[in-house]
Structure 1
Amino acid sequence: MSYFSDFFGLIFPQTCQACKKKLTRYEKVICTNCTYDLPYTDFHQHADHAVAKQFWGKVQLEGSYALLYFNKGSKVQRLMHRLKYKNMPKIGKVLGGLAGSRLNQVEGFKTVNVIIPVPLHPKRLKKRGYNQSTYFALGIAKRIRARVVEHNLIRTKATETQTHKTRLERFENMKAVFAVKRPQELEGKHILLVDDIMTTGSTLESCANVLLQIPGVKLSIATIAYAE
């Protein structure tokens, strides 16, 4: 099997999705150099980091986290673009594993028992073929031993892209967008809500407001990247 794998690698060499260099036999998706050199936030080591501050006075959270800093033209942008638009969902799993290893070091995240990815609208999900946040959730779940729950938190209407909107426009765009189909299944759970990139936090806030209406729910959030 290893001989076949080596032969296949010669014909169709696997490249790092961050820097495009050829991967070694023991590397997957992201090379070792990039794995070490990515701009990690280390937010799991601090309580008053940038993501947490976005929700102060708005949403009651048990914990918050973003794995990487997002900047235009960076390796992180390349990874996110390939994850979302180039049919590379396994990038999400790899980054989820990196995030999960760090969250395992934080006492507050050890009680998480359910992970919910921010849902896509069915039309967008059909077009893309997968929800990139689901794969991030699956990567985290393997490390913190929590269960990924899809299709309970749903997006009830399609929204315009948030990319070029102001903070206020983003908030207005996300009003009354999400709903929970079976709230009784989430009662008393510590939910980790996950998304790909956080900018203003309006999408996560909209989801959080719905989930926190469920009796006994505790809520934390985690994203792949934080755009400063």
Structure 2
Amino acid sequence: MIKKYWKDFISLIYPNVCYNCDVALVEGEERICLRCFRDFPLTQYHQMDPNPLIQMTSGNLKVKGAFCFMKFNKDGIAQKLLHELKYKNNAPIGLLLGEWFANYIKEEIEKAKIDAIIPVPLHKSKQRKRGYNQSEVIARGLNKITGIKVINDAMIRTKNVSTQTKKGKVGRWQNVDSLYKIEKNKDIKGKRVLLLDDVITTGATIGTAAEVLAESEVAEIYLGCIASGK
């Protein structure tokens, strides 16, 4: 409680403070101070063999690569930034996360010749409540740096499932069964697509979405997320 009051007090004196350490930002810093930015827990999963994220997708043969920006640690910087995006109506931080992520993997996605970014969709009721799909906001940040087209209507979420946070791995996969369907096949036929989510834990949600995409006529699938607890 004392920490919260102290943070609120500092914010009154210095409106622009680092989201991670509360230090006042200087000119040229945006949302995160340079020191914390340098300390991002980058994953480098895309440089590993086998790639931990690809191992989560049940052997989907169309998945050719996977990219993750940061490791998700309890009370860590990734959790703080994504909490701002998902629960505090802070869409600008999502755009920044997308831009930072794009710069981190720019060379790799250029090599992959990705044609389109498909954000993992939210159920329409949850999106109305939140005001936006956080994965779509991140995708717009990626688009700003890479110029890769974002396709929001290629896939829809068919049901609003219960929370995944307290379920085991098997329970998570059962919870997302029949969760997505392709809406506009013509937009993704023959394309190399980046399927983008904010967080990957067991891989159940994005794995299910990838399976649905694999049954369509996309050429290749790449997975992307801002953070993973793997």
**Fold match by TM threshold 0.5:** yes
Alignment partners' CA distance in 2, 1:109 and 1:99:
16
Q: Residues 210 and 36 from structure 1, CA distance in 2 versus in 1: closer, same or farther, beyond 3 angstroms?
A: same
SS at match of 1:50: coil
* Letter of the structure 2 residue corresponding to residue 122 of structure 1: K
| Structure 1 partner of 2:164 | 162
SS at match of 1:91: helix
Match of 1:79 among 78, 81, 92: 81
Alignment partners' CA distance in 2, 1:109 and 1:180:
26
Identity %: 34
| Structure 1 partner of 2:196 | 194
Question: Does the 8 Å CA contact 1:84/1:132 hold for their aligned counterparts?
Answer: yes
Structure 1: segments with no counterpart, 5+ residues: 1-8
Question: Does the 8 Å CA contact 2:155/2:182 hold for their aligned counterparts?
Answer: yes
Matches within 5 A, 1:176-187: 176-187=178-189
| Structure 1 partner of 2:5 | none
Deviation, 1:15, is 1.8
Q: Residues 190 and 58 from structure 1, CA distance in 2 versus in 1: closer, same or farther, beyond 3 angstroms?
A: closer
Deviation, 1:91, is 1.6
| Structure 1 partner of 2:21 | 19
SS at match of 1:35: helix
Alignment partners' CA distance in 2, 1:134 and 1:109:
23
* Letter of the structure 1 residue corresponding to residue 150 of structure 2: V
TM-score (norm 2): 0.89
1:94-142, Cα deviation, whole Å (9 max, x unpaired)? 1211221122222675411100111111111111111111121112222
Question: Does the 8 Å CA contact 1:113/1:145 hold for their aligned counterparts?
Answer: no
Match of 1:98 among 97, 100, 106: 100
* Letter of the structure 2 residue corresponding to residue 155 of structure 1: R
Alignment partners' CA distance in 2, 1:186 and 1:28:
35
Deviation, 1:49, is 2.7
Matched positions, count: 220
Structure 2: segments with no counterpart, 5+ residues: 1-10
TM-score (norm 1): 0.89
Alignment partners' CA distance in 1, 2:140 and 2:75:
27
Could you tell which deviates more after superposition, 105-114 or 133-142?
A: 105-114
| Structure 2 partner of 1:119 | 121
| Structure 2 partner of 1:65 | 67
Alignment partners' CA distance in 1, 2:113 and 2:185:
19
| RMSD of Structure 2 on Structure 1 (CA) | 1.9
Match of 2:34 among 25, 32, 43: 32
Question: Does the 8 Å CA contact 2:118/2:194 hold for their aligned counterparts?
Answer: yes
Q: Residues 62 and 203 from structure 1, CA distance in 2 versus in 1: closer, same or farther, beyond 3 angstroms?
A: same
| Structure 2 partner of 1:46 | 48
| Structure 2 partner of 1:203 | 205
| Runs of at least 4 residues off by over 6 Å | 9-12
Q: Residues 109 and 174 from structure 1, CA distance in 2 versus in 1: closer, same or farther, beyond 3 angstroms?
A: farther
Q: Residues 126 and 12 from structure 1, CA distance in 2 versus in 1: closer, same or farther, beyond 3 angstroms?
A: farther
SS at match of 2:107: coil
Alignment partners' CA distance in 1, 2:179 and 2:109:
32
Question: Does the 8 Å CA contact 1:103/1:144 hold for their aligned counterparts?
Answer: no
